[in-house]
Chain A
Amino acid sequence: MHQQDNDKAPLFGNWSGWYWLVGVFLLILIVFFYWITKKFA
């Protein structure tokens, strides 16, 4: 992973935090959608 041109990630301080956030949020969405699919089926 490159850190260049003062490439500091906002909020988390490193980019791994952002990558985890995006990945985990996708997982939560899929679980939420699965719940809606079952709930309203």
Chain B
Amino acid sequence: MSLLDWIVLAVTLLAIVAYGLYKSRTSHNLEGYFLSNRSLPWGMVLLSIMGTQASAITFLSAPGQAYTDGMRFVQYYFGLPLAMIVISIFFVPIFHRMKVYTAYEYLEQRFDGKTRTLTSLLFFLQRGLSTGISVFAPSLILSSLLGWDINWTNLFMGGLLIIYTMSGGAKAVAYTQQIQLFVVFTGMFLAAWMLVSLLPEGVGFIDALDVGGKMGKLNIITSGITEKGFNWSDQYNLPSGIIGGFFLALSYFGTDQSQVGRYLTARSLTESRMGLLMNGLVKVPMQFLILLIGVLVFTFYQFNKAPVFFNEVQLKKLEQSLYGDSLRRVQLEFDAVGEKKQAAVAAYSRFSGEDHKKEREASLQELLLLQQQSDSLRKKVVGWLNTKVPGGDGNDTNYIFLRFVVDHLPAGLVGLLIAVIFLASWGSIAAAINSLASCSMIDMHRRFTKKEETPEQEYRLSRWYTLAWGIFCIVVAMFTYNIGNSLIEAVNILGSLFYGVILGVFLVAFFMKKVRNSTVVFWSALGAQVLVLLVFILTKLGLFKMGFLWLNPIGAFGVIIFCLLLNRARFSGEKLPVNT
């Protein structure tokens, strides 16, 4: 990185911390610290919801995903708008009417304390670990690309935001998130602009899309249906996106305190609903545009020399292994194929119009053939890294976009895009730490401490809980480094392992008024959690194939079905009045 990049990076990050501290003034009680006195307008709620969901990996992984697999990943978000509608109708009014601080607080009023404790613990487990890995994942990428020390990167990634999150709570989180999103979108827009301007003369945006589309990267809608029927192991297709994505979004936005805590900061029920519904309108187009950047990166590398593998640290590992000579041969072959590809794509772009239809078609066929050759060479490298190199990782999806940034963008813009990675991370990590602290205080401390505390004392304790969770997440990030890269992938699945069950408990609470026996709900939730873990283990053992998104409906319906069965069997236990 140049001096200018360092200046841009440092100024951007320090400005955000300073702004967060400036906005830290809040009343010294729990409502002020965790819910910003329920005073925010819907626009800020919307940006806070978006800033919490979009982590650094969203902006790194999505373009890489489009580069390798095409744009079908966008289908993963198709269930989200529908979930926003359901949450606006059923979830938000109840949370507002009961004036809860956390989602799990409602479960004690509806069932009992142990159901609240169980769901809170599942939340701690899932959110605590995944936030730790949210610190680690972008740190690993930046340290690999720029040669930074991983521990210091972890510390900056997870540490600086603690200053304003601890100081200002939910208000500071929401105010910094809007500035963070503005910087993030500006950075991504400039990167897209540069991508198009770096294409050869005469090749514009539509031409770039044409090349990407002809090479299979604009596969936005896929059915998941093959000759053998529906492919259950296919992660991203229309049915899994709408059904699985719906349950995932319903669980995440309806029952995960990191999101519930955002829309509870709204000044009224109307503002909460508006924030959620506007998120339902903008999320899919936003993901579409981020993925489109990946297609532009792909097209850029058709006209320019591409690396055979985008993670250089892993490539060096392979070079130093027994496969070093094989890698050098593959690289030479890959570069030779790349040069032919550049000639073919240039010819394809040159032959436009009806007069050159045949030549254009011939160039395209040659290009597709060459792409197959370069894909198979890349697969060899990936295969060696996955199976032959100790500690090797053949997944370079998260490195593709930043590799392009570092290698091809001008000084200053590189610094801005590195800042984008930090800020995107901070937005989601700060909200997660704030929500973990609110659950610790509201769902645990207040219930299990006998000592009466003043609002000022509770406020001070909440700040310490925020600090403690911040340190916990950094420690998880440090340990993750010793375990390896595979956990980055695992964290995506982690949510699906627990979200479905938590959602199931809430669905029973909202819609199954006949279920009043709290013990039924508690054991149903435990049973469904065991079922989800069992299904997951069986898929990992290869006994059957299924995409991880399906774990969400299995968990949710598992709780509902177990509740129906146990309730019918007149399971004994204390009966509580329905209180919704």
Per-residue B-contact encoding for A6-32, CB less than 8 Å = 1, 0 else: 111110000100110111011001100
Contact B218 A36 (CB under 8 A): yes
Per-residue A-contact encoding for B85-99, CB less than 8 Å = 1, 0 else: 100110001001100
Known contacts A2-B93, A5-B268; is A22 also within 8 Å of B221 by CB? Answer: no
Contact B218 A9 (CB under 8 A): no
Known contacts A23-B85, A25-B281; is A5 also within 8 Å of B96 by CB? Answer: yes
Query: In the bound complex, how far is the Cα of B188 from the Cα of A31, in angstroms?
Result: 26
- Residue B305 at the chain A interface, CB threshold 8 Å: no
- Residue B32 at the chain A interface, CB threshold 8 Å: no
Find chain A residues with CB under 8 A from B221 CB: 30, 33-34, 37
Known contacts A18-B277, A30-B221; is A40 also within 8 Å of B214 by CB? Answer: yes
Contact B78 A25 (CB under 8 A): no
- Residue B198 at the chain A interface, CB threshold 8 Å: no
CB distance from A36 to the nearest CB of B (A): 6
Known contacts A19-B88, A39-B213, A41-B218; is A33 also within 8 Å of B97 by CB? Answer: no
Find chain A residues with CB under 8 A from B273 CB: 7, 9, 15, 18
Query: In the bound complex, how far is the Cα of B82 from the Cα of A25, in angstroms?
Result: 11
Contact A26 B82 (CB under 8 A): yes
Contact B284 A7 (CB under 8 A): no
Contact B78 A30 (CB under 8 A): yes
CB distance from A29 to the nearest CB of B (A): 6
The interface on chain B, measured as residues whose beta carbon lies within 8 A of the other chain's beta carbons, has a size of: 33
Find chain B residues with CB under 8 A from A18 CB: 88, 273-274, 277
- Residue B210 at the chain A interface, CB threshold 8 Å: yes
Contact B220 A33 (CB under 8 A): yes
Contact A29 B269 (CB under 8 A): no
Known contacts A26-B82, A26-B284; is A9 also within 8 Å of B270 by CB? Answer: yes
- Residue B209 at the chain A interface, CB threshold 8 Å: yes
- Give the most central of A29, A33, A36: most B CB within 10 Å: A33
Query: In the bound complex, how far is the Cα of B277 from the Cα of A29, in angstroms?
Result: 16
Find chain B residues with CB under 8 A from A15 CB: 88-89, 273
Find chain A residues with CB under 8 A from B212 CB: 40
CB distance from A32 to the nearest CB of B (A): 9
Known contacts A37-B218, A40-B213; is A7 also within 8 Å of B74 by CB? Answer: no
Per-residue A-contact encoding for B255-290, CB less than 8 Å = 1, 0 else: 000000000000011100110010011001100100
Contact B269 A40 (CB under 8 A): no
Find chain A residues with CB under 8 A from B85 CB: 19, 22-23
- Give the most central of A21, A34, A36: most B CB within 10 Å: A36
Contact A23 B89 (CB under 8 A): no
Work out how many contacts link A and B, with CB atoms closer than 8 A: 84
Contact A7 B270 (CB under 8 A): yes
- Give the most central of A26, A30, A37: most B CB within 10 Å: A26
Query: In the bound complex, how far is the Cα of B238 from the Cα of A6, in angstroms?
Result: 38
- Residue B126 at the chain A interface, CB threshold 8 Å: no
The secondary-structure label for the interface of chain A is helix
- Give the most central of A1, A4, A22, A29: most B CB within 10 Å: A22
Find chain A residues with CB under 8 A from B274 CB: 10, 18
CB distance from A22 to the nearest CB of B (A): 4
Contact A10 B281 (CB under 8 A): no
Contact A34 B96 (CB under 8 A): no
Query: In the bound complex, how far is the Cα of B42 from the Cα of A9, in angstroms?
Result: 12
Query: In the bound complex, how far is the Cα of B210 from the Cα of A18, in angstroms?
Result: 35
Contact B210 A40 (CB under 8 A): yes
- Residue B81 at the chain A interface, CB threshold 8 Å: yes
Find chain B residues with CB under 8 A from A2 CB: 93, 97
- Residue B417 at the chain A interface, CB threshold 8 Å: no
Find chain A residues with CB under 8 A from B238 CB: 30
State which of B82, B220, B269, B281 has its C-beta within 8 Å of the C-beta of A4. Answer: B269
State which of A5, A10, A34 has its C-beta within 8 Å of the C-beta of B220. Answer: A34
- Residue B219 at the chain A interface, CB threshold 8 Å: yes
Find chain B residues with CB under 8 A from A41 CB: 213-214, 216, 218-219
CB distance from A27 to the nearest CB of B (A): 10
Find chain B residues with CB under 8 A from A36 CB: 213, 218, 220
State which of A10, A22, A30, A37 has its C-beta within 8 Å of the C-beta of B280. Answer: A22
Find chain A residues with CB under 8 A from B74 CB: 33
- Residue B84 at the chain A interface, CB threshold 8 Å: yes
Find chain A residues with CB under 8 A from B284 CB: 26, 29
Query: In the bound complex, how far is the Cα of B288 from the Cα of A36, in angstroms?
Result: 12
CB distance from A26 to the nearest CB of B (A): 5
Find chain A residues with CB under 8 A from B84 CB: 22
Known contacts A19-B85, A36-B220; is A26 also within 8 Å of B78 by CB? Answer: yes
CB distance from B422 to the nearest CB of A (A): 31
Contact A4 B93 (CB under 8 A): yes
Query: In the bound complex, how far is the Cα of B281 from the Cα of A5, in angstroms?
Result: 25
Find chain A residues with CB under 8 A from B216 CB: 41
Query: In the bound complex, how far is the Cα of B98 from the Cα of A5, in angstroms?
Result: 12
Query: In the bound complex, how far is the Cα of B85 from the Cα of A9, in angstroms?
Result: 13
Find chain B residues with CB under 8 A from A21 CB: 277, 281
CB distance from B94 to the nearest CB of A (A): 8
Q: List 22 A-B contacts (CB under 8 A).
A: A1-B89, A2-B97, A4-B93, A4-B97, A7-B273, A10-B270, A15-B88, A18-B88, A18-B274, A19-B85, A21-B281, A22-B81, A22-B277, A29-B285, A30-B221, A34-B221, A37-B219, A37-B220, A40-B209, A40-B212, A40-B213, A41-B218
Closest CB pairs A-B (n = 10): A40-B213, A2-B93, A33-B220, A40-B218, A22-B280, A26-B81, A34-B221, A7-B269, A19-B85, A37-B221
Additional 10 contacts, C-beta under 8 A, given A22-B277, A26-B284, A29-B284:
A1-B89, A4-B269, A5-B269, A19-B89, A25-B281, A26-B78, A26-B81, A30-B78, A30-B238, A33-B74
